[in-house]
A = this chain, B = another copy of it.
Amino acid sequence: MVDKAKRHGIKLRPHFKTHQSHDIGRLFRKEGVTAITVSSVKMAQYFAEDGWDEITIAFPVNLRKIESLNELASKVTLNILVSSQETPTLLASGLKHPVNVYIEIDCGSNRSGFRYDDIETIQKTKESIIESELLNFIGYYSHAGHTYDARSKDEINVIANKAFNDFTSIKKIDGDDVEFCWGDTPSCSVVDTFEGVSALSPGNFVFYDVMQTQIGSCEFKDIAVALCCPVVAKKNNELEVCVHGGAIHFSKDSIVKDGQAIFGIPVANDTWEPLTDAYVRAISQEHGIVKLTTHDHKRYEVGDVMYILPIHSCLTAEAIGSYLTLEGRKVEHMSKKSRD
Contacts and interface: CB of A to CB of B under 8 A. Distances in A.
A339 B84 CA distance: 24
7 contacts: A17-B286, A59-B286, A60-B233, A84-B232, A112-B232, A115-B237, A252-B252
Given A112-B287, A233-B60, A237-B118, A302 B87 contact: yes
Contacts of A233: 60, 83-84, 87, 104, 112-113
A251 B319 CA distance: 9
Interface string A78-118: 00000111110010000000000000100000111111001
A230 interface: yes
Interface in A291-335: 301-303, 305, 312, 314-315, 318-319, 335
Contacts of A337: 335
B17 A285 contact: yes
Contacts of A242: 60, 83, 111-112
A74 interface: no
A192 interface: no
A215 to B, nearest CB: 14
Given A84-B233, A242-B60, A247-B251, A285 B314 contact: yes
A244 interface: yes
Interface stretch (A35-43, A149-157, A170-178, A268-276): A35-43
Residue among A104, A233, A247, A340 with the highest chain B CB neighbour number at 10 A: A233
A265 B36 CA distance: 34
Contacts of A255: none
A103 to B, nearest CB: 12
Q: How many copies does the complex hold?
A: 2
Q: Which 8 A-B pairs have the closest CB atoms?
A: A42-B340, A83-B233, A60-B233, A60-B232, A252-B252, A63-B303, A112-B242, A40-B340
Interface string A111-134: 111110010010000000000000
A61 interface: yes
Given A40-B286, A63-B302, A289-B111, A253 B247 contact: yes
A147 to B, nearest CB: 13
A43 B253 contact: no
B302 A232 contact: no
A66 B236 CA distance: 24
Nearest to A43: B340
A284 B340 contact: no
Nearest to A113: B233
Contacts of A252: 251-253, 315
Interface centre among A17, A284, A301 (most CB of B within 10 A): A284
A234 interface: yes
Given A252-B252, A319-B319, 9 more contacts: A17-B286, A40-B340, A63-B232, A83-B233, A84-B233, A84-B302, A110-B282, A111-B242, A118-B236
A248 interface: yes
Contacts of A62: 230, 232, 244
Interface string A44-72: 00000000000000011111110000000
A139 interface: no
